[in-house]
Amino acid sequence: MDRERASRLAGAVVWTNDPSGAGPGRVLPDGCMDLLWNEGRLLVAGPDTRAYVTEGGTGVWTGLRFPPGAAPGFLGVPAHELRDRRVELSDLWAASAVRRLTARVDGADDPGAALEQIALDRAVPRDPLLSRLVQALDAGRAVAATADELGIGTRQLHRRSLVSFGYGPKTLARVLRMQRALALARAGVPLAETAVRAGYADQAHLSREVRELAGAPLTGLLR
Task: Give one DSSP letter per residue of 47-105, joined into a string.
Answer: --SSPEEEPSS---EEEEEPPTTTHHHHHTS-GGGGTT-EEEGGGTS-HHHHHHHHHHH
pLDDT value, residue 57: 61
Reported pTM: 0.93
Q: Are 30 and 86 in contact (CB under 8 A)?
A: no
Q: Are residues 139 and 208 in the same domain?
A: yes
What number of CA atoms fall less than 13 Å from residue 97's CA on the CB side? Answer: 10
pLDDT value, residue 23: 64
What pLDDT, in 10s, does the model give residues 76-107? Answer: 999 999 999 999 999 999 999 999 999 999 99
Number of domains in the chain: 2
Q: Are residues 76 and 147 in the same domain?
A: no
Of 89, 121, 153, which one is at a domain's C-terminal end? 121
Q: What domain range is 24 assigned to?
A: 2-121
pLDDT value, residue 18: 83
Of 95, 121, 147, which one is at a domain's C-terminal end? 121
Of 121, 151, 179, which one is at a domain's C-terminal end? 121
pLDDT value, residue 58: 72
pLDDT tens, per residue, the chain with 223 residues: 689 999 999 999 999 988 765 567 889 999 999 999 999 999 999 999 999 998 766 789 999 999 999 999 999 999 999 999 999 999 999 999 999 999 999 999 999 999 999 999 998 888 899 999 999 999 999 999 999 999 999 999 999 999 999 999 999 999 999 999 999 999 999 999 999 999 999 999 999 999 999 999 999 999 8
Q: Are residues 140 and 111 in the same domain?
A: no
**Could you count the other beta carbons within 10 Å of the beta carbon of residue 212?**
13
